[in-house]
Structure 1
Amino acid sequence: MASLKTLHVVPDDKFSNMVFRDFERFGKNNKYICFDQTEDFKYIKGWKPDQIRKRELNAYIHKHDISIVIFHSLLDKFIVTTLPRNLVVVWCGWGYDYYPYLLSTYYPQGMILQHTKSVFDASRKKKNITVMNFLSGSFRVARRSILNKIYSPQRITACIDYFVPVINTEYELVCEANSWFTCEYLSWSYGTLEEDYATCNASAIHSGNILVGNSATPENNHIEAFEFIHSNVDWQSRKIYCPLSYGDLNYAESIKDAGMKLFGNNFIPLMTFLGKYEYNEILSSCDLLIFNHIRQQALGNIISGLAMEKVILLNKRNPLCRWLNENNISYLTLDQEINAETLSIIDKASNKKEILRVWSKSAIAEKTQKLVEITHDAAMRKK
């Protein structure tokens, strides 16, 4: 096993730092590459993956005698069809790369609710797009659309050995929606509670604030969440934090304006990327964390909130509800009233205990070790 090499294909993203840290704990036979061509990474810090172009991938694999390739998110899926057949291929999905691809049948109307969609559409019209940006953007969209038609999901997944969705519930949904799906399931998770998600000052004051959403993406359905807060929560004495540093900046500005209009100075848009310690200090000041996605998203924030004994509110259509139920974690949905009776069903201490069982440093170490063992055994069988 020690002689086999694993290649991790990572984007310039904060989660890639967790990949490097957690896999380096299990030996020195990991290589890391990034297709982003940049002098300075925005999110990758403290280490540096090799930078290559997609067309150079097979040459890199051959040069470094790679046996296992793990894609941490996979947008240009056709690339797996070009890989040598003796490789073990793993797709660690991040949600955005497999919901529209494998789970679209569950969302015939899309994942953006009506009021938020109106704001999102208006924000796109405000963009100052140069001719070159328009042409290059149109080319990328058209290219990906054509390739997705040529390389059907059946053809792509036939080249993938293992699928690692964010939560096991999504694997079940993928299999239910796609009878042809043959990838085996593997469990692995990004980050640990102790090092990433619950890092804050233990004496931080819990001042009853509210957090809404996790990013500047319309799948947060911010506007409907704002309407819920305005009608159902005593918000006048609270700060309403809204993370908007990650995603579409034009949409972020539109959501900032909408929040300020509805809540005035109580609304605090987080427009710049914060380090995890600073961000978790803000999170620790909140009692209600509201996520109005109808797909799985913002799980890192939810994990942090559960560990900090916060009340989580979700859209009832979110598959995370099923996952939380399976793990005996209590939460509320946005079709419920927020009052003493509904809040009393939330067992915060039990929630913390259960999420520690699933996402502690020791739990992630066990998952990582198991993934390494399974993929190495599979690679030995392919040799």
Structure 2
Amino acid sequence: MRVAHLSLDEKFIDCAIDQFKELEGVDSTFCALSNGDIFKYIKSDNVLMFHSSDEMVDYINSHGFDYVVIHSLCISPRYLLKLSLPILWNSWGYDIYSDRSDPFQKILNLSLYKPMTRRIAKVGPQTLKDRAILVLRKFGILSKKQKRYYQLIKKIRHISVVLPSEFTEIKKRFPHFELYPFRYIERNTENEDTVLLPNKDERYSRRILLGNSNDPTNNHLDILHKLNSIGKEYEVFIPFSYPNTDPKYIQSVIDRSKEFKNLKITFIKDFMPFEEYSKILKSCQSAIFGHFRQQAVGNISYMMKTGRNVFFYEGSTLYSFYKNNGYKVFSLDSELDSEHIETPLSMDDRKSNHDKNAAKHDYQAYIQKLQAFFDSLR
């Protein structure tokens, strides 16, 4: 079976390449769109580089592939609709969720933003055209962009998701979908005997990781305001190198962050190897994830595995997932205080979170499941 992969130059693609190398009877060719002459994030060899969506789609259509895996809806549906072979969709989160106020609606709709972020990111209809689209949608009249999106959705049969609840909700709206068991997980190489050891340096108790990117769905300023109001000094690390889709929002967060006098804030603006990044993660006692949709699961899993205190909004799909599965997690709404931030988890809770996370990320069992899926396609 010959499988093409369609993606952008993204940091998760190397993980997928390693996985597909392990599958028997599946010959994969990875194709990625790039803005430059070299890839910034993809490090693997033998990835075909393209500089236009049309060029990449034409190549995939004309080289005898049996299936195409799309790593998110990373190019316009206008081009994806031109694909002439069955599509397997690896959803990422941003491509299945939209805010309820957005003129363009995706397959799952939530209220994604807290008040400060909603104002600064200028979420929702911004023009008369946007407002007209919202009004017409109430009467069942859809924009061309929306029609094209739904046309693509109907064309795709298989979708992968991160949380089981996502597929349940998707299936309610689009019953034709079937679950495709792909996830971006890597073979664990870390010494499991050391990751559970608590930090002995008391300085770590006031170090906090906030979010996973510069995307507004992190609700950065709302959380910084809440942290600052505790009245104690905290050191906050904010990953801010990715994905750079809203420069005005990024600059607004940096500028407004200076207002929070109790917080020493470090924006991690440069992409760094995971070995270096993980040192920052390990130096933090707590991690706060302000997303209402599924996002940042790699960072969350790492902080769970290493016994950190992890906070979510109670309305988040992530909070529901981890609470329902017995993890020890905390509420951003009612438990973000000095006691819950600075007090380490008990060893029992650390071990429980670690073991649940390890079971969920059993790499070999996962590869066997993925192999069985592709065997079933023959």
What interval of TM-score do these two structures reach, taking the shorter chain for normalisation? Answer: 0.7 to 0.9
Q: Give the structure 2 partner of residue 373 of structure 1.
A: 372
Letter in 1 for 2:145: N
Query: Residues 51 and 146 (structure 1 numbering): CA distance in 2 closer, same or farther, change over 3 Å?
Result: farther
Structure 2 residue matching 1:189: 3-state secondary structure: coil
Query: Residues 196 and 189 (structure 1 numbering): CA distance in 2 closer, same or farther, change over 3 Å?
Result: farther
The answer on 1:112 being equivalent to 2:94 is no
Letter in 2 for 1:90: L
Contact 1:307 1:351 in 2 (8 A): yes
Q: Give the distance between the partners of 2:277 and 2:247, measured in 1 at CA.
A: 19
Deviation at 1:64, TM superposition (A): 3.3
Q: Which runs of 5+ in 2 are unaligned?
A: 99-105, 124-141
Q: Give the structure 1 partner of residue 6 of structure 2.
A: 9
How many aligned residue pairs are there?
A: 340
Q: Give the structure 2 partner of residue 169 of structure 1.
A: 165
Q: Give the distance between the partners of 1:37 and 1:197, measured in 2 at CA.
A: 38
Q: Give the structure 1 partner of residue 237 of structure 2.
A: 241
Query: Residues 113 and 119 (structure 1 numbering): CA distance in 2 closer, same or farther, change over 3 Å?
Result: same
Where relative contact order (Cα < 8 A, 6+ residues apart) is larger, the structure is 1
Q: Give the distance between the partners of 1:56 and 1:97, measured in 2 at CA.
A: 22
Mean CA deviation greater in 328-337 or 263-272: 263-272
Q: Give the distance between the partners of 1:97 and 1:369, measured in 2 at CA.
A: 27
Q: Give the structure 2 partner of residue 353 of structure 1.
A: 355
Q: Which runs of 5+ in 1 are unaligned?
A: 123-144
1:335-354 matches, cutoff 5 A: 335-337=333-335, 338=337, 340=339, 347-354=349-356
Q: Give the distance between the partners of 1:327 and 1:197, measured in 2 at CA.
A: 25
Q: Give the distance between the partners of 2:168 and 2:78, measured in 1 at CA.
A: 24
Deviation at 1:300, TM superposition (A): 1.2
Contact 2:196 2:350 in 1 (8 A): no
In the superposition, the TM-score normalised over structure 1's length comes to: 0.79
Contact 2:196 2:351 in 1 (8 A): no
Contact 2:196 2:306 in 1 (8 A): no
Aligned residues: CA RMSD: 3.0
Q: Give the structure 1 partner of residue 82 of structure 2.
A: 82
Query: Residues 59 and 216 (structure 1 numbering): CA distance in 2 closer, same or farther, change over 3 Å?
Result: closer
Between structures 1 and 2, the one with greater helix share: 1
The answer on 1:150 being equivalent to 2:155 is no
Q: Give the structure 1 partner of residue 90 of structure 2.
A: 92
Q: Give the distance between the partners of 2:72 and 2:370, measured in 1 at CA.
A: 17
Q: Give the structure 2 partner of residue 129 of structure 1.
A: none
Q: Percent identity?
A: 23
1:1-383 matches, cutoff 5 A: 4-27=1-24, 29-52=27-50, 53-57=52-56, 59-75=58-74, 76-84=76-84, 87-100=85-98, 101-104=106-109, 107=110, 110-121=111-122, 147-153=144-150, 155-176=151-172, 178=173, 180-192=174-186, 194-195=188-189, 207-208=204-205, 209-232=207-230, 235-236=232-233, 238-246=234-242, 247=244, 248-263=246-261, 266-337=264-335, 338=337, 340=339, 347-359=349-361, 363-378=362-377, 380=378
Structure 2 residue matching 1:118: 3-state secondary structure: helix
Deviations 1:24-74 (A, max 9, x none): 123571100013342011111142421233334554335432112111111
Deviation at 1:117, TM superposition (A): 2.5
